[in-house]
């Protein structure tokens, strides 16, 4: 598969680069960013942390705002950040132009409803196509971890729970923890997946976790000053599910922090260290 380099910049002794490619799963051009630490090379492949961003974001938000490069360079970790949805001419969008559905809001599901089913196959893209592409073209190992924020936190948890053999650990900031029970999730799942709520359950981390006692170790940070905490995020539901099943989840409520990248940048080093420890 042909990769087109969009940009490249040296940072923290390594390289941050953006690439575009023609994706089979989403039937359109996709862009991703990758940080390769200074240790990475043909004779020294490094493990990868996949980062999934939230509503309205692209690959750029995390890479430009999280301040993750120095710690990732220290630990010898690559970071890969895909886009949050398919884009381009012919890709369906919310006809009402809202921020929480359509472009920039793929919710990391495989859509079954028209006109979204043709392109909105983000679950397959993140789980199958993108890792295969990264491992074929960059000096990385098959060791993977996954993390994300808000909608991306939902995606990271859900994907790790469904694919425990592919990811050694999962972390999330302010995840949409119970999407079948919040306005953002209900809107997205109805639009992408239809009215059958049995299909929704396979994309809901709380429902998945309450039936799993083992899986990738999970760390979730949630700010208690987050404006979306009560209505949209519901981390207490995730915690209750973990208690019910015995799942290895650590949920930390962080006093005074909101939903922004100020919050993420304050704790990203701890999340990267969490993953590095489980890479061994």
Q: Would you call 226 a catalytic residue per the annotation? A: yes
Helix (H) or strand (E) holding 159, with range, is helix 151-162
On whether the pTM is more than 0.85, the answer is: yes
For residues 2 and 243, what is the distance between their CA atoms, to the nearest angstrom?
46
Catalytic residue among 85, 226, 237, 275: 226
For residue 1, the model assigns a pLDDT of: 66
**pLDDT class for 280, splitting at 50, 70, 90?**
confident
Residue-wise pLDDT tens digits, 240-272 = 999 999 999 999 999 999 999 999 999 999 999
For residues 67 and 185, what is the distance between their CA atoms, to the nearest angstrom?
29
**Rounded to a whole number, what is the largest CA-CA distance in the chain?**
51
Which strands form 249-254's sheet, in the order they lie side by side?
3-11, 14-23, 28-36, 78-82, 46-52, 140-149, 169-173, 217-223, 249-254
Query: For residue 96, what are the contacts with CB-CB under 8 A and spacing of at least 6?
Result: none
- Is the pLDDT score of 88 beyond 80? yes
Phi–psi pair at 249, nearest 5 degrees: -115, 135
Residue-wise pLDDT tens digits, 137-194 = 999 999 999 999 999 999 999 999 999 999 999 999 999 999 999 999 999 999 999 9
For residues 233 and 243, what is the distance between their CA atoms, to the nearest angstrom?
18
Task: Count how many residues are written for the chain.
Answer: 280
For residue 264, the model assigns a pLDDT of: 98
Q: Would you call 259 a catalytic residue per the annotation? A: yes
For residues 201 and 209, what is the distance between their CA atoms, to the nearest angstrom?
11
Closest by Cα among 235, 233, 182, 180 to 207? 180
Handedness of CA 19, 55, 220, 129 (dihedral sign): negative
What value does the mean pLDDT take over residues 70-84?
A: 98
For residues 36 and 95, the answer to whether their CB atoms sit within 8 Å is no
Catalytic residue among 16, 149, 178, 259: 259
Angle at CA 145, nearest 5°, toward 141 and 146? 135
In three-state secondary structure terms, 71 is helix
**pLDDT class for 87, splitting at 50, 70, 90?**
very high
For residues 128 and 25, the answer to whether their CB atoms sit within 8 Å is yes
Residue-wise pLDDT tens digits, 193-229 = 999 999 999 999 999 999 999 999 999 999 999 999 9
What domains are defined for the chain? 3-279 (3.40.50.1820)
pLDDT over 90 for what percent of the chain? 99
Catalytic residue among 85, 150, 168, 174: 150
């Amino acid at each position: 598969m042909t990769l087109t380099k969009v940009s490249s910049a040296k940072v923290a002794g390594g390289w941050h680069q953006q690439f575009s490619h023609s994706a089979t799963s989403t039937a359109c051009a996709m862009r991703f960013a990758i940080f390769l630490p200074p240790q990475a090379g043909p004779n020294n492949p490094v493990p990868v942390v996949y980062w999934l961003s939230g509503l309205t974001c692209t690959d750029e938000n995390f890479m430009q705002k999280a301040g993750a490069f120095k710690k990732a360079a220290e630990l010898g970790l690559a970071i890969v950040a895909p886009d949050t949805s398919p884009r381009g001419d012919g890709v369906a969008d919310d006809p009402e132009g809202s921020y929480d559905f359509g472009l920039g809001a793929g919710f990391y599901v495989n859509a079954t409803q028209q006109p979204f089913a043709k392109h909105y196959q983000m679950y397959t893209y993140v789980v199958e196509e993108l890792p295969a592409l990264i491992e074929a073209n960059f000096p990385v190992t098959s060791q993977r971890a996954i993390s994300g924020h808000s909608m991306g936190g939902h995606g990271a948890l859900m994907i790790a729970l469904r694919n425990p053999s592919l990811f050694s650990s999962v972390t999330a900031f302010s995840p949409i923890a119970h999407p079948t029970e919040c306005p953002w999730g209900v809107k997205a799942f109805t639009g992408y997946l239809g009215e059958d709520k049995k299909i929704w359950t396979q994309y809901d981390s709380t429902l998945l976790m309450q039936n799993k006692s083992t899986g990738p170790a999970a760390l979730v940070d949630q700010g208690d000053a987050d404006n979306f905490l009560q209505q949209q995020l519901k981390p207490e539901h995730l915690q209750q599910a973990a208690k019910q099943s015995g799942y290895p989840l650590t949920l930390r409520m962080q006093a005074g922090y909101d939903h922004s990248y100020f919050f993420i940048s304050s704790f990203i080093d701890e999340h990267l260290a969490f993953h590095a420890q489980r890479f061994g």
